[in-house]
Amino acid sequence: MPLILKEQIGASVSICIWQINETEAFFLDQLQLKEADLNSILQLKLPSRRLEKLACRVALSQCINNSEVNISYNSFGAPQIEKGFISFSHAKEIVAVAYSPNHPIGIDIEKVNSKILKLKHKFVGSKEVNYFDMENPEQITQIWCTKEALFKWYEKGEVDFRKDLHIAPDFQTATILKGENKMNLTLKRIKIDPYICVVVY
């Protein structure tokens, strides 16, 4: 069972990272899913997408120590459960899940790849170019990963990654600025070569 990381962050955030090399039957045997959730997964045409969905649910079951997970999705496509807050991410053969009983969270996991350097102008802010290495694929991947996690934390869509999401130079905190609203958040960075995972809470 490739649960490669299970970690508690403070008193209120649990994360699990799972490497996928099992079958659908394995995952289904580990879970007690509601019929609607199960059907939504089984109707997916791509086997890889079904595996990602199932792996996220098994990882969540590890976070909450309960094989019965009831997932639904809000109007912005974010996963939710009846009690607490969750966030999912996947990068091909790996998934990351975060859970908190008390407050919103966001998680993202990405594989470091130099191709991201060609896209940095779409999400790196005007201040961030001054204190991050714009030619370092790992740092740029970390910026992207962090902003994806911030976007998931926000859960309301309509976010400009360059103008609304701001990362501190030390990668310990970040801010979401939307109109007159300013939300200051804490970051947790986890590196599992060749992946970077960021949790926002």
Structure tokens at 33: 């899913």
Q: Which residues contact 18 (CB under 8 A, 6 or more apart)?
A: 2, 3, 4, 55, 58, 59, 62, 94, 95, 96, 97
Q: What is the predicted pLDDT for the residue at 156?
A: 85
Q: Do the Cβ atoms of 9 and 96 come closer than 8 Å?
A: no
DSSP strand pairing (72-73 vs 195-200): unpaired
- Complete DSSP assignment for 182-201: EEEEEEEEEEETTEEEEEE-
d(CA 122, CA 140): 11
Q: What is the predicted pLDDT for the residue at 157?
A: 81
- Complete DSSP assignment for 121-149: GGT--TTHHHHS-TT-HHHHHHHHHHHHH
pTM of the model: 0.94
Torsion, Cα of 158, 168, 195, 63 (10° steps)? -70
Q: What is the predicted pLDDT for the residue at 122?
A: 97
The H or E element that residue 37 is part of is: helix 35-42
Q: What is the pLDDT of residues 53-105, one digit of tens each?
A: 999 999 999 999 998 898 999 888 899 998 999 999 999 899 999 999 999 99
Q: What is the predicted pLDDT for the residue at 179?
A: 85
DSSP strand pairing (94-100 vs 85-91): antiparallel
The answer for 92, left when phi > 0, alpha when psi is -120 to 50, beta otherwise, is left
d(CA 198, CA 188): 6
- Domains plus CATH for the chain? 3-103 (3.90.470.20), 108-200 (3.90.470)
Q: What is the pLDDT of residues 113-136, one digit of tens each?
A: 999 999 999 999 999 999 999 999
Q: What is the pLDDT of residues 17-28, one digit of tens each?
A: 999 999 999 999
State the chain's mean pLDDT as an integer. Answer: 95
